[in-house]
Amino acid sequence: MAGLTEDHPQIGIDDIIDGSEQKLNEDIVERESGGGAREMAPPAGNSIHRSGSRPQLDLSKAAIQGNFEERDPTILLPNQSDDISHLALDIGGSLIKLIYFSRHEDRSVKDRRKKFLEEKIGVSNGIRRSYPILGGRLHFVKFETAKINECLDFISSKQLHRGGMDAHDWNSDAPDNENAVIKATGGGAHKFADLFKERLGVSIEKEDEMNCLVAGANFLLKAIRHEAFTHMEGQKEFVQIDQNDLFPYLLVNIGSGVSMIKVDGDGKFQRVSGTNVGGGTYWGLGKLLTKCKSFDELLELSQRGDNRTIDMLVGDIYGGMDYSKIGLSASTIASSFGKAISENKNLEDYRPEDISLSLLRMISYNIGQISYLNALRFGLKRIFFGGFFIRGHAYTMDTISFAVHFWSKGDAQAMFLRHEGFLGALGAFMSYEKHGLDDLMVHHLVERFPMGAPYTGGKIHGPPLGDLNEKISWMAKFVQKGTEITGPVPMASPRTTGLGGFEVPSSKGATLRSDASNLNVGVLHLVPTLEVFPLLADPKIYEPNTIDLAEQGELQYWFTVLSEHLPDLVDKAVASEGGTDDAKRRGDAFARAFSAHLARLMEEPAAYGKLGLANLLELREECLREFQFIDAYRSIKQRENEASLAVLPDLLMELDGMNEETRLLTLIEGVLAANIFDWGSRACVELYHKGTIIEIYRMSRNKMQRPWRVDDFDVFKERMLGSGDEKPHPHKRALLFVDNSGADVVLGMLPLARELLRRGTEVVLVANSLPALNDVTAMELPDIVAEAAKHCDILRRAAEAGGLLVDAMINSQDVNKENSSSVPLMVVENGCGSPCIDLRQVSSELAAAAKDADLVILEGMGRALHTNFNAQFKCDALKLAMVKNQRLAEKLIKGYIYDCVCRYEPASS
DSSP 140-170: EEEEEGGGHHHHHHHHHHTTGGGTHHHHHHH
Burial of 245 (0-12, 13-18, 19+ CB in 10 A): exposed
In this predicted structure, the answer to whether residue 136 has a pLDDT above a threshold of 50 is yes
In this predicted structure, the answer to whether residue 507 has a pLDDT above a threshold of 80 is no
The values of phi and psi at residue 769, to 5°, are -75, -35
In the chain, what are the domain boundaries?
A: 34-224+419-477+518-530, 243-418, 634-905
165 versus 134: which is more confidently predicted? 134
Residue type, 485: I
List all residues 6 or more positions away from 18 whose beta carbon is below 8 Å from its beta carbon.
Answer: none
Gap between the Cα atoms of 157 and 188, Å rounded: 21
- Answer whether 882's CB lies under 8 Å from 896's CB: no
In CATH, what number does 634-905 get? 3.40.50.10880
End-to-end CA distance of the chain: 32
Q: Which fold has domain 243-418?
A: Nucleotidyltransferase; domain 5 (3.30.420)
Confidence (pTM) = 0.83
Q: Backbone dihedral region of 737: left (phi > 0), alpha (psi from -120 to 50 degrees) or beta?
A: beta
Helix-strand-coil split of the chain, %, nearest 5: 40, 15, 40
Mean pLDDT of the chain: 79
Identify the DSSP state of 413: E
In CATH, what number does 34-224+419-477+518-530 get? 3.30.420.510
In CATH terms, are 34-224+419-477+518-530 and 243-418 the same topology? Answer: yes
pLDDT band at 908 (very low <50, low <70, confident <90, very high): low
Confidence (pLDDT) at 426: 93
Judged by average pLDDT, the poorest of 173-177, 507-511, 551-555, 788-792 is 507-511
Confidence (pLDDT) at 162: 77
Q: How far is CA 322 from CA 151, 288, 316, 336, in A?
A: 53, 34, 10, 18
pLDDT band at 516 (very low <50, low <70, confident <90, very high): very low
List all residues 6 or more positions away from 87 whose beta carbon is below 8 Å from its beta carbon.
Answer: 98, 99, 100, 101, 155, 160, 161, 182, 183, 429
> What string of H, E and C letters represents the secondary structure of 740-804?
ECCHHHHHHHHHHHHHHHHCCCEEEEEEECCCCCCECECCCHHHHHHHHHCCCHHHHHHHHHCCC
In this predicted structure, the answer to whether residue 435 has a pLDDT above a threshold of 80 is no
Q: Are strands 228-232 and 136-144 parallel, antiparallel or unpaired?
A: unpaired
Tell me the per-residue pLDDT of 626-670, one tens digit each, with 9 for 90 and over.
Answer: 999 999 999 889 988 998 899 899 899 999 999 999 999 999 999
- Answer whether 784's CB lies under 8 Å from 776's CB: yes
List all residues 6 or more positions away from 249 whose beta carbon is below 8 Å from its beta carbon.
Answer: 262, 263, 380, 382, 383, 384
Identify the DSSP state of 459: E
Tell me: cis bond preceding 707? Omega within 30 of 0 counts.
Answer: yes
pLDDT band at 141 (very low <50, low <70, confident <90, very high): confident
